[in-house]
Chain A
Amino acid sequence: SQELEQSPQSLIVQEGKNLTINCTSSKTLYGLYWYKQKYGEGLIFLMMLQKGGEEKSHEKITAKLDEKKQQSSLHITASQPSHAGIYLCGAPHQGGSEKLVFGKGTKLTVNP
């Protein structure tokens, strides 16, 4: 079965610093979703990447999909306390099912 591994598991940065979170798949990626989760809340959709080499940006968050490496990265520029939370990557399950397989998440803390 497909597995997604996220690194690092947790990350503490000073406000204003840049950071990168990686998501590596055990199988070929046919798309990749990034979500953010805060305690007690549901998942907030950030970005969906569908094609190899695709890169998308929203405000200070940029995500890339490298199909050859079966990997996606999420980069935050000039981090702010509002960026704190758990970042989850999810990928469509192989075999035609509509379900998503998720990584275990990366917990981001941004210190003011």
Chain B
Amino acid sequence: GAGVSQSPSNKVTEKGKDVELRCDPISGHTALYWYRQRLGQGLEFLIYFQGNSAPDKSGLPSDRFSAERTGESVSTLTIQRTQQEDSAVYLCASSSYLSSYEQYFGPGTRLTVT
């Protein structure tokens, strides 16, 4: 079956613009996670969805960041008024209790803010 997919794979945007990043989880996976990986850093947790609700948003760095998930499938991470420090690879993962909540990761979206 298909794995986690993310789009776009690369995004270059000007400072101050808004961007939307998309994640398509594995079909049937109820849990979805967004992480950020900045150059030379480990993965930072951003937000976790269980179904359509987000019980843990503790990793969102500022109110410029938001995410939503519809229909227990696709999720969109939106960054408003992008800043250069937002440049990073944004990774999405999904999991299911049927696979012991092992998190399957997508290929990521590389965001560059100029």
Whether A associates with B in a native complex is yes
Instruction: Tell me if A45 and B107 are in contact (CB < 8 A).
Output: no
For residue A40, CB closer than 8 A to chain B, the reply is yes
Task: Name, among B41, B59, B100, B105, the residue most crowded by chain A CB atoms within 10 Å (CB to CB).
Answer: B105
Instruction: Tell me if A48 and B105 are in contact (CB < 8 A).
Output: no
**Residues A83-101 near B (CB distance < 8 A):** 88, 90, 93, 97-101
Instruction: Tell me if B43 and A98 are in contact (CB < 8 A).
Output: no
B55 to chain A, nearest CB (A): 8
Instruction: Tell me if B107 and A41 are in contact (CB < 8 A).
Output: yes
A90 to B45, CA, bound (A): 11
Q: What class of interface size applies to chain B in its complex with A?
A: 20 to 34
8 Å CB contact of B42 from A97, A98, A102: A102
Question: B26-61, CB under 8 A of A: which get 1 and which 0?
Answer: 000001010100001111010010100001101100
A33 to B110, CA, bound (A): 24
Instruction: Tell me if B108 and A42 are in contact (CB < 8 A).
Output: yes
A35 to B55, CA, bound (A): 25
A103 to B56, CA, bound (A): 20
Query: Mostly helix, strand, loop or mixed at chain A's interface?
Result: strand
* List of A residues within 8 angstroms of B93 by Cβ: 43
Kindly report which residue of chain A lies nearest to residue B45, judged by CB atoms. Answer: A99
For residue B77, CB closer than 8 A to chain A, the reply is no
Contact A100-B102, Cβ < 8 Å, known A41-B107, A42-B107, A43-B91: no
For residue B65, CB closer than 8 A to chain A, the reply is no
Instruction: Tell me if B105 and A42 are in contact (CB < 8 A).
Output: yes
For residue B111, CB closer than 8 A to chain A, the reply is no
Contact A102-B107, Cβ < 8 Å, known A42-B4, A48-B102, A97-B48: no
Given contacts A33-B102, A98-B50, A103-B42, 7 further A-B contacts (CB under 8 A): A42-B4, A43-B91, A97-B55, A98-B33, A99-B56, A99-B59, A101-B45
A positions within 8 Å CB-CB of B? 4, 33, 35, 40-45, 48, 88, 90, 93, 97-105
